[in-house]
Amino acid sequence: MRMTRVLGAALLTLGLAAAPAAADSSPSPGASGDADAPTRAGTSFRTATEIEQGQTATANASTGDYLYWSFPADTGQRPTVEATVKLPAEHAAETWQIDVYDGLRRRQACRFGAQTRTAAAGAAQVELACALRTVRGWSEPWDGDPLPGTYYVRLTAVDVPTSALGQPVSAEVRVGSQDAGGAAAVDGSLAQPLVPGAGVTRDDEEESGEEALLASLEPDDGWASGWWSDRWVWTGLGGVLAALAGIGGYALTRGAGRPPRVPPSA
């Protein structure tokens, strides 16, 4: 009877411990709907249009334009940028590319995804994707790891014949992300996320809502402080299980309580 209770408790705790592991693979919930998604794109880092993760931003532009968007990404996320460019009915073969830059305007590598793709002459659209590395809470200054902060997406035609310059195209950009969970947790954290313009002191009284900022968007629930990871759950449960196992081991060698022949007064 007692054995089954112990076993049951152990199974329960094991199940709980497995829960965070299962949660790792679920994608983070999308941001708000596309109702207020931006319908334009910036033309430089300075004028990049801000989008939130989960939003689909659209823009009408011309072949040859450099289109810029920016989005916030936080610790533990694995952002994926997807872009679709709808090309005009008649065009020559042209190559499109997305580049992702971090808040320090350093180009970030794509783990996988068709970052550059050539649309054959007359193709209706071209689809591009770039899956970034995991955003770490901290890295060495000499390192190029993605860090929490603003990310820039640049979409452009990198190889285009002069005859195609200026043709109308429409572009669509989505940013989604997966949560990497505590497996990617590192210790240490940035004093402030890598948001451009973070060091500029502003006069809050003077400026109104229309203030120009290099980047203003934050993740839905603010920037992570960096102390939480599912490692707390793993380690805590490990402690509990170790205690239980300790009790089990003790019971095994110590035997069942005091020997019956020992008088209670002893």
Partner 1 sequence: MIIRTRLAAGACALLALLAAGVAFPAGAVADEVSATAPKVDLVLDVSGSMRARDIDGQSRMAAAKQAFNEVLDATPEEVRLGIRTLGANYPGDDRRTGCKDTAQLYPVGPLDRTEAKAAVATLSPTGWTPIGPALLKAAEDLDGGEGSKRIVLISDGEDTCAPLDPCEVAREIAAKGIGLTIDTLGLVPNTKLRQQLSCIAEATGGTFTSVEHTEELTDKVNQLVDRAADPVVTPVATDGADRCEKAPALKSGLYTDREEFGQQRWYRVDVRPGQELRASVSVAADRAVNPSYGVLVRAVTVKGREIVRGEAAGTGRTDVVSAGLRYPKAEADDDEDAPAETVCLQVTHSFSAGAGVKTAPGLPLELTVDVVDGPSPARDVASFGLGRGWWLLGALILAGFLAGLVWGWLSRWRVAVWRTN
Nearer of residues 81 and 176 to partner 1, judged by Cβ: 81
Q: Which is nearer to partner 1, 33 or 188 (CB)?
A: 188
* Contact indicator for 104, 164 with CB cutoff of 8 Å: no
d(CA 115, CA 112): 8
**Residue 101 binding partner 1, by CB under 8 A:** yes
Q: State the helix-helix crossing angle for 2-23 and 231-254, rounded to 10 degrees.
A: 160
Restricting to residues 78-97, name those near partner 1 by CB under 8 A.
Answer: none
Is the CB of residue 114 less than 8 Å from the CB of residue 96? no
**Range 126-165, binding partner 1 (CB under 8 A):** 137-138, 140-142, 156-160, 162-163, 165
Q: How far apart are CA 28 and CA 79, in angstroms?
A: 10
Smallest gap from Cβ 216 to partner 1, in A, equals 11
Task: Name which of 88 and 113 has its Cβ closer to partner 1.
Answer: 88
Give yes or no for residue 38 binding partner 1 (CB under 8 A). Answer: no
**Which of 60, 109, 118, 121 is the binder for partner 1 (CB under 8 A)?**
60
Among 1-9, 62-70, 77-85, 119-127, which window interacts with partner 1 (CB under 8 A)? 62-70
Q: Which residue from 249, 233, 235, 219 is spatially nearest to 149, judged by alpha carbons?
A: 219
- Interactions with partner 1, residue window 217-236 (CB under 8 A): 227, 229-232, 234-235
In a 10 Å sphere around its CB, with 0-12 CB exposed, 13-18 middle and 19+ buried, how is residue 13 labelled? middle
* CB 135, min distance to partner 1, A: 14
Q: 3-state class of 252 per DSSP?
A: helix
108 to 127, contacts with partner 1 by CB under 8 A? none
